[in-house]
Amino acid sequence: MRFELAPTPEQAVVMGRYCGLSRAVENFCLEIVGKKWAQRKAEESYGLSGDELTAVPWTAPALEREWRAAHPSRYPWFTQDKMSSRVPKEACRVRAAGFANYLKSKTGKRRGARIGFPTWRKRKHGSRFRYDADRAAPRGEHTVKLPGVGDVAAREDMSWLTERLADGRARILGSTIREQGGRWWISFQLEVDRTDINTRRMVPADAPRCGIDLGLKTFAVLTNEDGSTEEIHAPKPLRAAQRALARANQKLARTGRESKNRIKARVRVARLHLRVAGRRHDFLHKTTTRLARTKSAIAVETLNVAGMVRNRRLSRAISDAGFAEFVRLLEYKADWYGATVWKADRWFASSKTCGPCGWVHTELTLADRSWACPGCGVVHDRDRNAAGNLLAAMLADVAG
């Protein structure tokens, strides 16, 4: 759960320092592990083994020990500025999680795409830092306590969270403070009892089932059991902001390095990207919430989005649509409200298959928005036919 903060200028400066501290600790951990791993490899080539080899600090406790031993001499400002010790602790945990994911991926113990070795964290990668457990917590409906920073005002009402924290229906597991475009947010990692919300918003037992075909021209085409269809059009926020982004980036490119105008121009570009992301998120959340609360079962495609964005002509439009995020949001919200999400096989030819007779149009291209079946003569709208085929495949699978 995320809330926007309204820090004073002095608090924003302190929070910026903690972002720099977190970045410094993460890079320190990367440096230490890299050096000791290289030393260990060299010792193995010399014939050493067992306890004779240099120990690599892969875990969070080991990295914390390395940080505590090194910071008095390498980072004296940490003690001089009396900064919170919780931030380096969480930075070590973040790095340890990255190393663990890399090692599991390398040995085949982690599902999904291969993960590379963690890279050096730079300022341009984003400003953020973390607190563990409930070190950072709401003090009221509009105030958040941040260790080392103080009580920071929140721009949004947090009564939904404070009420559940008070009666034990929610527990804070951790929190992340992040800066984007000159604005600050706090994201709480929560363990929440959602029984009352899910029961109140439970999808009706007689709610219709539907199939959804995702596309670029029309974001989603829905076909219900009764044969009715619905089109959902995305706002395409990145496309709408292209001209403004081009001008802002042009002004950024013309500013001098390390100048104040460059800082202002960079913030202007960041705010435009933040607005684009906000519009996309708003659309995806509202759409998936409505579907999860009104449909008892939803059939969707299994899209290889990572492969789709390799198409240079369509990659921007595909990224702007947010197909993968749409399916991710829909899955967990459907689980909340008692709906079911059925995902078709990746190679299921939903657009190429004629719904009435089953003939497959193998020569269908992306440019063909409609086509006539030579077997039964039915003229198909590409997207509606695909949504209907997804719905039929789900119903057949459930019946079987």
Q: Are the C-beta atoms of residues 1 and 161 closer than 8 Å to each other?
A: yes
| Whole-prediction pTM | 0.86
In whole angstroms, what is the distance from residue 221 CA to residue 347 CA? 19
In whole angstroms, what is the distance from residue 334 CA to residue 395 CA? 17
185 to each of 128, 223, 264, 273, how far by Cα in Å?
9, 39, 20, 16
Read off the amino acid at residue 320. D
* pLDDT tens for each residue of 127-156: 999 999 889 999 989 999 999 999 999 999
Q: Are the C-beta atoms of residues 29 and 59 closer than 8 Å to each other?
A: no
Retrieve residue 138's tokens: 């709401």
Per-residue model confidence (pLDDT) at position 319? 93
Per-residue model confidence (pLDDT) at position 251? 95
State which residues of the chain have pLDDT below 50: none
Q: Are the C-beta atoms of residues 320 and 238 closer than 8 Å to each other?
A: yes
360 to each of 149, 318, 370, 389, how far by Cα in Å?
63, 26, 14, 12
Q: Quick count: other Cβ atoms within 10 Å of Cβ 169?
A: 15
